[in-house]
Chain A
Amino acid sequence: MVATLTSAPESTPLLLDAQRLFCERDGRVLFTDLDIQLLPGDLVELRGPNGSGKTTLLRALAGLNPDFEGGLTLSERLLYQGHRVGLNLLLTPLENLNWYQTLQHLPSDRITLEAALAAVGLAGYDDTPCHRLSAGQQRRVLLARLHLHLAPGGALLWLLDEPLTALDTAGAEVLRGLLVARIDSGGAVLCATHQGLGLTQSRLLDLGAVRL
């Protein structure tokens, strides 16, 4: 039960270096001896059946779940997007993004925000409370967050949990564009997905394959 995912060159700074990760939940070993190293330009799809530990792994890497063993070094601040949307549904997309920008020390002005919303196909929804948006549109607000992180000073390391959920084909295309833009500008992405991103740049890490 050993899985490794390593890129060779030593000179480039690693964005994420996880060594010999081990995690057990309710007596079941989710992963053991798992090595993950992410270099600028890496796009890794995290696969595996339900319950194989994809979310647990992402949360561990993001620092939200200390319940694992192994060495973990993150050389960059990161972006984590989990299952739960992370939007206050009473607020508008603009207000949600404004709060997020302050939190993430990103430049926060209305023009940048509106441009980000327009880039993900939400132009004109600036002032609609999020609970009036459809599930797919709410996920698009998350895409706008990713878009904001493409600005200088944004997080280079993206950890995404099922970002394709509820997105239509156009939305998925926007997501692919954002991911490619991130890895092309020196970032790295680790992305849990069932459907597959359909990008030639991506490598696979299958948690199901390391199971007996």
Chain B
Amino acid sequence: MSTLVGTDDSAPQGHLWRLFSGQLRRDLLAAVRAPGELVNPLMFYLIGIALFPMGVGPGPNTLALIAAGVLWVLALLAILLAMDGMFRRDYDDGTLEQFNLHMQPLFVGVLAKTLAHWLMTGLPLTLIAPLAALWLYLPSHAVGTLMLTLLLGTPVLSLLGGMGAALTVSLRRGGLLLALMILPLYVPVLIMGAGAITVVTDGLDPAAQIKWLAAILALACTLVPFATAAALRIGMEQ
């Protein structure tokens, strides 16, 4: 519909880096100024984990059996809970308009926002996971694998979740819709992540699952920011 004549010359790489780091710095700064939002997903994770010993009984054998699945499912839900906030504040205060109009290329800004979001959710979650593992009697030799799979898997969750958050940003009550859209996409990460831990507790080598997770992460890093940028354009037009 509209044509843009004689605009930007091709952006040099230093310029892309400036856009990326500027956006990252801004998002991290804003996140640090509202620390309550940082703590929420972590509290949700710990409380959710704590419900299981109460629900299925505190027997070490039962808990150890379900530990891998529970640790990963709750990580997935905790990240999902935080996902809606990725673009929400920016949308409400109008910064997302400026971001959409002037961030060129848009995927660089999206990548920076996703990284900031992961640094504030996925990374701390990975770091407190050993504590949660302790409550569920996960064998201590599996804790390293748990952290490694979360380190590889949670960025994928943030990337995919960002895509859903971008699509639902203009909906007032997008939370549930976001969960319905994104949860099915989380399945491969869940299978590989929980699978690796189960394999380790069985005394086998989890290399295959971990390499799969790494491959999924590489693929998601490369492709999803473009999809999110497109989703953001669509989401903003509502």
Contact = CB atoms under 8 A, between A and B. Distances in A.
Contacts of A125: none
B29 A100 contact: no
B30 A88 contact: yes
Nearest to A102: B22
Interface stretch (A77-85, A115-123, A183-191, A192-200): A77-85
A85 B1 contact: no
B23 interface: yes
A98 interface: yes
Interface string A166-188: 00000000000000000000000
Interface of B: 1-8, 15, 18-19, 22-23, 26, 29-30, 33-34, 89-90, 92-95, 97-103, 236-237
Contacts of B5: 73-75
Interface in A63-121: 63-70, 72-75, 77, 80, 82-91, 95, 98-100, 102-105
Interface of A: 62-70, 72-75, 77, 80, 82-91, 95, 98-100, 102-105, 129
Nearest to A84: B94
A160 B22 CA distance: 25
A87 B95 contact: yes
The B contact surface, by secondary structure, is helix
Contact of B19 (A70, A73, A103): A103
- Which of A67, A72, A89 has its CB near the most chain B CB atoms (within 10 A)? A89
A64 B97 contact: yes
A105 B105 CA distance: 13
A28 B82 CA distance: 39
26 contacts: A64-B97, A64-B100, A65-B237, A66-B1, A66-B2, A68-B1, A70-B1, A72-B1, A72-B3, A73-B5, A74-B3, A74-B5, A75-B6, A83-B94, A84-B94, A85-B93, A85-B94, A87-B94, A88-B90, A88-B93, A90-B34, A91-B29, A102-B19, A102-B22, A103-B22, A103-B99
A119 to B, nearest CB: 20
A83 B26 CA distance: 22
Nearest to B33: A90
A77 B7 contact: yes
B22 A88 contact: no
Contacts of A75: 5-6
Nearest to B8: A77
